[in-house]
Amino acid sequence: MGEKILVELAERHRIHNRAENKSPKTLEWHETAVKRFCQFVESWKGSEATLSDLNPDNVKLFIVHLQETPTSHNHPFIAHPTKRVSDSTINSYVRSLRAFSRFLHQDGKTKVWILEKVKPPRTELKLKNLLTLEEIKAIFSEFNPQCFLGSRNQAMLGLLLDGGPRVSELLCLRREDLNTDVGFVKVKGKGRKERLVGVSDEALLLISSYLEYRPDTDCPNLFVTFEGKRLSYNAIQMIFVRLKKKLGLKYLHPHLLRHCSATFHLQNGEDPVSLQRQLGHSSIAVTQQYIGLVPFAQIKAHRETSPLKHLRLAGLKLKFLKQLDREISDKELHLILDNYGTHKQDKVQKWLKRHKRFHLHFTPTGASWMNMVEIWFGILTNQAIRRGSFDSVAQLIGAIKAFLARWNEEAKPFVWTKTAEQILAKTVR
């Protein structure tokens, strides 16, 4: 029998990875690496690459070849004919070839792991380029929130900056993954691992505005095209390409917002461990990540440190106030708000001064919905769980349900203790 053709062996590797439920991105990564190596071998060999061509010497020549090769001039968005293939790309190709070689050894096609001693080239450690708050404001101002495309793009950019999901995770979001009551989205990250990503009130308002213009479609995805179809990665890429050119920014790409999100959250005081879970970064120290729900405290911390809070996008609150002004034009309006900062924006304050019939009232400190959730779980813990003894999860669930049934029999609603006179008196201070 003749020598084994490398692309045929690569197909066996692909089937093996599919059987292990590897992600499509992983399958594409291995396929691209082997394909480029075969093209390199065939360019000087003149025939198909075989198993014997997969050896340390050829792989090292392949590395040197990539280091001297410009990136593709057929790039779909931006051509860089003089820019070299990055060290990280070359490193990933070599790691893929090593994994392919290890599979061939385990599959009995080779007696030894051929590329065991071939080390991937070192990559240059670079500092991430970040956007300033002024640049982020300029980006948001490029979109008209009063139409489908503008509101959709603002919602996507807001979610990327606020929660830091990967673009692939953003595109896979379904409407059912959004929880507006608690303030999070459920994303499926690398390795098909699900996690909860906290979303601030500002980002939720952007998403809510977009949903008003979202076409009625059977597509389950949260973000869709004007025709109601799933949005592609290329579509998002083109949005950033146009923004970069129009605003004259040196650095702008979708993943940059993820870097900005992480940096701003840390600067604003979020715990690094919580942020690690939020972004879905793997770590040896966290061996049981993605098991169960993200703690409410983490979601609350992420929401409170959102960079969108510091942008003070006045249009968020003004849009709601203007809507009320249009729909209810003949009455005094008293708005009860959680103690929040968007009403302090200059544009909002000026608008309120011109519209005297709008009166704002704020819930007492510590009476927000998140505080109520924490109080309720404290009651549940102290009265139903802490002193109990449970032999199984089913027994614990049964005890919780029994407590809830008893609680609901005597449940009392929240009572507002201020009279109308007290509330109105406060407005004239």
Q: What positions carry a catalytic annotation?
A: 166, 190, 255, 258, 281, 290
Residue type, 305: T
Residues 6+ positions from 244 with CB-CB distance below 8 Å: 252, 253
Total Cβ atoms within 10 A of residue 398: 12
With 0-12 / 13-18 / 19 or more C-beta atoms within 10 angstroms meaning exposed / middle / buried, residue 136 is buried
How many residues are given for the chain? 429
Report the amino acid identity of residue 315.
Answer: G
Give the phi and the psi of residue 36 in degrees, each rounded to 5: -70, -35
Compute, in degrees rounded to 10, the torsion defined by CA atoms 105, 108, 110, 116. Answer: 10
- Amino acid at the residue 161: L
Return the closest-CA partner of residue 10 out of 101, 117, 91, 90: 101
Instruction: Find how far residue 402's CA is from the centre of its chain.
Output: 38
Nearest CA to 164 among 239, 254, 267, 82?
A: 254
- Paired residues of 221 in beta bridges: 174
Work out the angle at residue 217's Cα, subtended by the Cα atoms of residues 211 and 219, and round it to the nearest 5 degrees: 95
